[in-house]
Structure 1
Amino acid sequence: MEASWGSSSAERGWYVSAQQPEESAAAELRPLLGNELHRQGSSGVSFGFSVFNLMNAIMGSGILGLAYVMANTGILGFSFLLLIVALVASYSVHLLLSMCIQTAVTSYEDLGLFAFGLPGKVVVAGTIIIQNIGAMSSYLLIIKTELPAAISEFLTGDYSGSWYLDGQTLLIIICVGIVFPLALLPKIGFLGYTSSLSFFFMVFFALVIIIKKWSIPCPLTLNYIEEFSQISNATDDCKPMLFHFSKESTYAIPTMAFSFLCHTSVLPIYCELQSPSKRRMQNVTNTAIALSFLIYFIAALFGYLTFYDKVESELLQGYSKYLPHDVVVMTVKLCILFAVLLTVPLIHFPARKALTMIFFSNFPFSWIHHALITLALNIIIVLLAIYVPDIKNVFGVIGASTSTCLIFVFPGLFYLKLSREDFLSWKKLGAFVLLISGILVGNFTLVLVILDWTKK
């Protein structure tokens, strides 16, 4: 059971020395999390399954926006930026693991408490809430845009104007009838198993993108783009760009940061790891990030090479437009919609936990509080999904703000505060660079995203 504010390790003044052996420190972390696996004497989760669990935490809706990012940065520009973000994500996990061993805290929120007291914990919890709200709204945006298209592909004839082809109506029905009841459950462990399917669906999606690259001709003809009044013969439309920068390139780093965020899941996975040590968990992280990088890059590359500058900000929309009745595309679309539908109520839980931690930490469990927080979260994400016109806006704002904080700013700031090393040590200098670059990149891209909104 996670410690409350009144019983946190930080408030008890418990500090595990940085010189303590990693295995001993990891053993201290296990009982703090109430790990049944440890109490029953199990050997823990294997390296391979830990990699899979972390990849499942990393990969999500961000994969649908990366082809659009490549179209606005170029292949080499995209590759460089994606590699930098992946390396930074791995390094920030390294700093988090170092701090977890030194402090024996049990969560990202408790690192904030240990570093800056109660305000630090509230800020971290609030950041996680906003991040999860953004993730849930991005999933609901996919449902709003793709579910009507999926239904229409099974129909013959003109059914335009029907309520079951209206994305907003379907979204409200699904949230009221499925998402809200599932999110209300006090324990929703079975959805953890179904959410694991989303990883396999993402891999399946990447394979379909590769296969379908040769099903859509280039240049795109009148049969594929209805709004063009004549057939395009511009061969330049079919030449990939190595570097390309425009105002839409602003969304590149925020979308990538959104796509690689897994930091709130690292500590629980670490504490369940077989033969836990910082080096072993870092290897798990590096492997998971590297494999996620590979899948992300393949999906973005072949998505871009299919549509070039016509690629949509949400990649599935392109296949809905150009291959509306393709069986394979319809199958992968249904798979992703199913994964999205079951993942949304799952993400409710950490968001509701953080809200409860802020407002009701000293109160016993109450169904009234539980239901009201769940309802409030549901209303917020539905409104965002309805009124935010494009998924890239979610990636842009959430990626530039909360994702940047959780990947760049907080690990660097907390390490500078908690580490006893000399400031000129390599780790502290790296943490300082991470902190400053996160602040600069996050604020700069957020301002550019907001300016892009106002101009539109």
Structure 2
Amino acid sequence: MAQQLNNEEGTTLIPPQKAAGETRSSMISASFNFINSIIGSGIIGLPYALNQAGLPLGLLLLVVVAFITDYSIILLIKGGNLSGTNSYQSLVQSTFGFPGFLILSGLQFLYPFIAMISYNITTGDTLTKVFQRIPGVGPDHILAERHFVVLLSTVAFTLPLSLYRNIEKLGKVSFLSMVLTFTILIIVIIRAATFGPQIPPTENAWAFAKWNAIQAVGVMSFAFICHHNSFLIYGSLEQPTLANWTRVTHVSVGSALIISAAFAVAGYTTFTGYTQGDIFENYCRNDNLATFGRFCFGLSIITTFPLECFVTREVLSNVICSRDLTKAEHVAITFLIVSVCTSISLAYDCLGVVLELNGVLSATPLIFIIPSACFLKLSPGRWFQGENLIPTILILIGLFVMITGLTMIGLYPQDCSHGVEMYYCEGANNSDTVLPV
């Protein structure tokens, strides 16, 4: 199939005899960009996903979600080749017309919009604890009040950065975000070794499976979604062939899976059943290393928020205006988006449920359903035969995860212990020796 698409669609843009070294360099660069687009703030909720599903089943589901992500990304490019399109939006519009374009636009708006809400919740969770490490700032200080911190970060950082009209001015934060993510991963692994043995495992901590596994799939889908960047990275290849794209995708998703699994296991094995949607909620306030991790994650969140705001604003402008926004319209829409996100995050502060909701409501259809549906519409043959079988199965799985996940979120909302110092921190509050830095 790959070779057939290559020949029929003419996707080899540069002659094969081009120097191998240049092609390899381009593929390495593309792989790095792709890994960076996958590994982001969603990683913070993966230990919570293992808590929902159980450690063994959770790891298995993480591998399955990574496999489906890998497969659907390749499927997107196949669909683009079959339809002669070069973006997710144009592929869906070419395949399902304007109604399909509206549905995709709604999902592409909803995903970053809910993500921005989760970023504000995380900012309130993490930076309040960072500020409390400043001498003279206690639990009753205004800097320890999450509502004030969320408003402060919005007014001072996220809103001004979100007002940029050119996304290139925000591009430099990508490398910084990757460095901060690796720093957080190292901190979580260190604490798994130094702090984890002091916390007794909860009941059924090592059970193979738990009944909240479907909600865990939503959190994992949120962490792995990267489809909006696929066509852009594919087009950046020096030889944008399906074979080269397949190799880039396998390397990128595989690397992201290893990093994500390491973070999830380190976080969950430290706290087992106590694991929160924001893993830094589990660390004690006087843990200096964890405080540094909170600072790194808070900074990463603040610099990532404007990128998501850019996406939501572009979706709105494309659907509503179908033209470039005037300066006044740009400011008004940006202010409206940021204000609504901030208001919701001030009213609701449980990160785990927000991650679950975004995963099942927007990430699941963007990963499981839409790429498969586009390919099936464009591909000849019956749905349950040949290479159409897997996309058909993915659609059914996606629908099951969405319906079941939304039902469980509504019927069995997860508890959230935001701002509560965990019982195992009582000794640590009086002695830094319990938490060596």
Pick the TM interval, shorter chain: 0.7 to 0.9
Aligned position for 1:334: 295
1:309-341: per-residue Cα shift (whole Å, max 9, x none)? 22222101112x2xx334432222222211111
Letter in 1 for 2:209: H
The 1:200–1:26 alpha-carbon spacing in structure 2 relative to 1, beyond 3 Å, is farther
Letter in 2 for 1:192: G
- Matched residues in 2 for 1:175 and 1:236: separation? 38
In the superposition, the TM-score normalised over structure 1's length comes to: 0.83
- Matched residues in 2 for 1:19 and 1:342: separation? 39
* Residue 131 of structure 1, CA deviation: 0.3
Q: Does residue 274 of structure 1 match 2:238?
A: yes
* Secondary structure in structure 2 of the residue aligned to 1:342: helix
Aligned position for 2:362: 402
Aligned position for 2:19: none
Aligned position for 1:108: 88
Aligned position for 2:326: 366
Letter in 1 for 2:85: V
Aligned position for 2:305: 344
* Residue 216 of structure 1, CA deviation: 1.7
* Residue 295 of structure 1, CA deviation: 1.0
Letter in 1 for 2:251: T
* Secondary structure in structure 2 of the residue aligned to 1:259: helix
Percent of aligned positions that are identical: 24
Find 2:120's aligned residue among 136, 140, 151: 140
* Aligned residues of 1:85 and 1:253 also touching (Cα < 8 A): yes
Question: Where does structure 1 lack aligned partners over 5 or more consecutive residues?
Answer: 1-16, 29-41, 221-234
Find 1:453's aligned residue among 373, 388, 413: 413
* Secondary structure in structure 2 of the residue aligned to 1:198: helix
- Matched residues in 2 for 1:389 and 1:22: separation? 52
1:338-369: per-residue Cα shift (whole Å, max 9, x none)? 111111011111211111111011x3431122
* Residue 280 of structure 1, CA deviation: 1.0
Q: Does residue 25 of structure 1 match 2:4?
A: no
* Aligned residues of 2:113 and 2:341 also touching (Cα < 8 A): yes
* Residue 392 of structure 1, CA deviation: 1.0
Aligned position for 2:270: 306
Letter in 2 for 1:256: M
- Matched residues in 2 for 1:300 and 1:90: separation? 19
- Matched residues in 2 for 1:18 and 1:126: separation? 34
The 1:311–1:44 alpha-carbon spacing in structure 2 relative to 1, beyond 3 Å, is same
In the superposition, the TM-score normalised over structure 2's length comes to: 0.87
* Aligned residues of 2:201 and 2:273 also touching (Cα < 8 A): no
1:386-427: per-residue Cα shift (whole Å, max 9, x none)? 122311111111101110110011011111112234545422
* Secondary structure in structure 1 of the residue aligned to 2:172: helix
* Aligned residues of 2:6 and 2:242 also touching (Cα < 8 A): no
1:119-198 matches, cutoff 5 A: 119-156=99-136, 159-198=138-177
The 1:217–1:88 alpha-carbon spacing in structure 2 relative to 1, beyond 3 Å, is closer
* Aligned residues of 1:23 and 1:276 also touching (Cα < 8 A): no
The 1:249–1:268 alpha-carbon spacing in structure 2 relative to 1, beyond 3 Å, is same
* Residue 154 of structure 1, CA deviation: 2.3
- Matched residues in 2 for 1:165 and 1:103: separation? 54
* Residue 267 of structure 1, CA deviation: 0.5
1:167-246 matches, cutoff 5 A: 167-216=146-195, 218-220=197-199, 237=202, 240-246=205-211
- Matched residues in 2 for 1:24 and 1:69: separation? 42
The 1:194–1:23 alpha-carbon spacing in structure 2 relative to 1, beyond 3 Å, is farther
Aligned position for 1:436: 396
The 1:48–1:118 alpha-carbon spacing in structure 2 relative to 1, beyond 3 Å, is same
* Aligned residues of 1:85 and 1:256 also touching (Cα < 8 A): yes
* Aligned residues of 2:384 and 2:392 also touching (Cα < 8 A): no
- Matched residues in 1 for 2:8 and 2:150: separation? 48
- Matched residues in 2 for 1:406 and 1:126: separation? 11
- Matched residues in 2 for 1:86 and 1:375: separation? 35
Question: Where does structure 2 lack aligned partners over 5 or more consecutive residues?
Answer: 15-21, 417-437
The 1:409–1:145 alpha-carbon spacing in structure 2 relative to 1, beyond 3 Å, is same
Q: Does residue 420 of structure 1 match 2:380?
A: yes
- Matched residues in 1 for 2:236 and 2:8: separation? 14
* Aligned residues of 2:54 and 2:213 also touching (Cα < 8 A): no
* Aligned residues of 1:45 and 1:274 also touching (Cα < 8 A): no
1:49-96: per-residue Cα shift (whole Å, max 9, x none)? 211111111122221111122123222111111111111111111210
* Aligned residues of 1:198 and 1:339 also touching (Cα < 8 A): yes
The 1:292–1:455 alpha-carbon spacing in structure 2 relative to 1, beyond 3 Å, is closer
* Secondary structure in structure 2 of the residue aligned to 1:161: coil
Superposed CA RMSD: 2.5
Q: Does residue 296 of structure 1 match 2:260?
A: yes
* Residue 380 of structure 1, CA deviation: 2.0
Letter in 2 for 1:57: S
* Secondary structure in structure 2 of the residue aligned to 1:340: helix
* Secondary structure in structure 1 of the residue aligned to 2:166: coil
* Secondary structure in structure 1 of the residue aligned to 2:359: helix
Find 1:393's aligned residue among 323, 328, 353: 353
* Aligned residues of 2:37 and 2:229 also touching (Cα < 8 A): yes
Aligned position for 1:380: 340
- Matched residues in 2 for 1:240 and 1:266: separation? 37
Does 420-429 or 261-270 show the bigger shift?
A: 420-429
Aligned length: 407
* Aligned residues of 1:55 and 1:288 also touching (Cα < 8 A): yes
* Residue 257 of structure 1, CA deviation: 0.6
- Matched residues in 2 for 1:301 and 1:416: separation? 36
Aligned position for 1:31: none
